[in-house]
């Protein structure tokens, strides 16, 4: 019987506007009241999860930056895993002109000036919809306040970098960058949710490894965990658990590895599936 749920956010649990709303909030509170455990598994940062109003306040476990940081239900840190500094230095040297973001636990550094960063990222449909088109007043300035622009190489190397993101919309340039990354394949893994970006973490880190870590620490039965995801950075997690689900809007490669395809995120497919599982458990009179 399923007792624990773990879900990606963007394109999976969140609504069509990449947001948290009343339907999600009320549904999740009902699930938690019934005694189920829930884990957020996302490539977002802590600030990115906090941006989903209401979600952060719930007693849920949080895995961010594709597993590089794990938080307990009270939001205390259980695990953090940084990329080796020599690897960060190597990437800086190998990709000096790439649109890179360097993530620490609480900030984002980029060597780009603020204006150049906006110009580059506004070309990407997903970023434009999530950030520029966000209806919340002042959200763009709030989002950009997390960044340290025009960061120097030495500043970046002084910090523990948990994740590196890169964006390249031109296919030939992206292929070149990915080719350069092969020299670091023993130290990092690229688990990107979208083909236009890369998301780098330490080789040993992934959403799957983070969820396994949490399950072991909490003594959860792996067979009772259900996982949900829609993108490339969810693949390892979806293939590591028996109960795996992808919304109809998921990437085709993702839908091929899951046990069931559910309704799309704009139809609240994840929430509906969780509530269906809970209802089935009640009909079987199975205590959780």
Confidence of residue 245 (pLDDT cuts 50, 70, 90): very high
Helical residues (DSSP H) of the chain, grouped into ranges: 22-33, 46-50, 85-94, 114-121, 125-127, 139-144, 153-158, 171-181, 207-218, 235-240, 252-255, 269-283
pLDDT for residue 91: 97
Task: Tell me: pLDDT of 46 over 70.
Answer: yes
Query: Residue 30's pLDDT band (boundaries 50, 70, 90)?
Result: very high
Residues 6+ apart with CB under 8 A from 216: none
pLDDT at 27 over 70: yes
Give the residue-averaged pLDDT of 16-37: 96
| pLDDT score recorded for residue 287 | 65
- pLDDT score recorded for residue 70: 98
**pLDDT greater than 80 at residue 98:** yes
Q: Return the pLDDT at 139.
A: 80
Q: Does residue 230 contact residue 247 with C-beta atoms inside 8 Å? A: yes
Task: Write the pLDDT tens digit of every residue in 148-206.
Answer: 999 999 999 999 999 999 999 999 999 999 999 999 999 999 998 888 999 999 999 99
For the cut 80, the answer to whether the pLDDT of residue 137 exceeds it is no
- Spatial distance between the Cα atoms of 206 and 116, rounded to a whole number of angstroms: 30
pTM for the predicted model, two decimal places: 0.90
Give pLDDT, residue 49.
Answer: 95
Q: At what angle do helices 22-33 and 269-283 cross, to 10 degrees?
A: 30
> Which pair of tokens denotes residue 136?
């919340």
For residue 12, give every residue at least 6 positions away whose Cβ sits within 8 Å of its Cβ, in sequence order, or none: 228, 229, 230, 234, 247, 250, 265, 270
Distance (Å) of CA 274 to CA 32, 89, 133, 179: 11, 43, 30, 40
Residue-level pLDDT at 126: 85
Q: How confident is the model over 123-132, as a mean pLDDT? A: 85
Q: How far apart are CA 280 and CA 127, in angstroms?
A: 38
What would the mean pLDDT of 14-26 be, rounded to a whole number?
A: 95
In Å, how far are 40, 60, 160, 278 from 127, measured between CA atoms? 20, 26, 25, 34
| 133 has a pLDDT exceeding 80 | no
Q: Mean pLDDT score of the chain, rounded to an integer? A: 94
In whole angstroms, what is the distance from residue 276 CA to residue 27 CA? 12
**What is the average per-residue pLDDT within 55-75?**
97
Q: Quote the pLDDT of residue 162.
A: 98
Nearest to 241, CA basis, from 263, 267, 214: 214
Q: CA-to-CA distance for 160 and 170, rounded, in angstroms?
A: 30
How is residue 5 written in tokens? Answer: 């749920």
Q: What is the pLDDT of residue 112?
A: 95
d(CA 72, CA 220): 14
């Amino acid at each position: 019987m399923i007792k624990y749920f773990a879900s990606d956010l963007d394109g999976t649990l969140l609504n069509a506007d990449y947001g948290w709303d009343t339907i999600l909030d009320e549904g999740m509170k009902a699930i938690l009241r019934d005694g189920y455990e829930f884990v957020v598994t996302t490539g977002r940062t802590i600030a990115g999860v906090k941006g989903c109003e209401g979600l952060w306040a719930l007693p849920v476990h949080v895995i961010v930056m594709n597993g590089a940081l794990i938080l307990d239900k009270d939001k205390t840190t259980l695990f953090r895993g940084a990329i080796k500094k020599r690897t960060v230095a190597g990437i800086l040297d190998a990709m000096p002109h790439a649109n890179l973001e360097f993530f620490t636990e609480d900030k984002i550094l980029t060597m780009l000036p603020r204006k150049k960063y906006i110009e580059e990222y506004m070309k990407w449909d997903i970023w434009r919809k999530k950030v520029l088109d966000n209806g919340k007043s002042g959200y763009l300035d709030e989002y950009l306040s997390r960044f340290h622009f025009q960061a120097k190489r030495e500043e970046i190397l002084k910090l523990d970098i948990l994740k590196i993101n890169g964006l390249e919309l031109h296919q030939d340039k992206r292929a070149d960058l990915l080719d350069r990354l092969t020299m670091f394949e023993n130290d990092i893994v690229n688990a990107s949710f979208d083909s236009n970006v890369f998301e780098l973490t330490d080789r040993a880190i992934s959403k799957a490894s983070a969820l396994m870590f949490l399950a072991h620490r909490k003594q959860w039965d792996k067979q009772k965990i259900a996982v949900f995801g829609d993108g490339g950075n969810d693949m390892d997690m979806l293939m590591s658990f028996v109960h795996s689900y992808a919304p109809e809007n998921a990437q085709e490669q993702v839908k091929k590895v899951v046990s069931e395809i559910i309704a799309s995120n704009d139809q609240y497919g994840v929430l509906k599936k969780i509530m269906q599982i809970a209802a089935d458990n009640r009909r079987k009179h199975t205590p959780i």
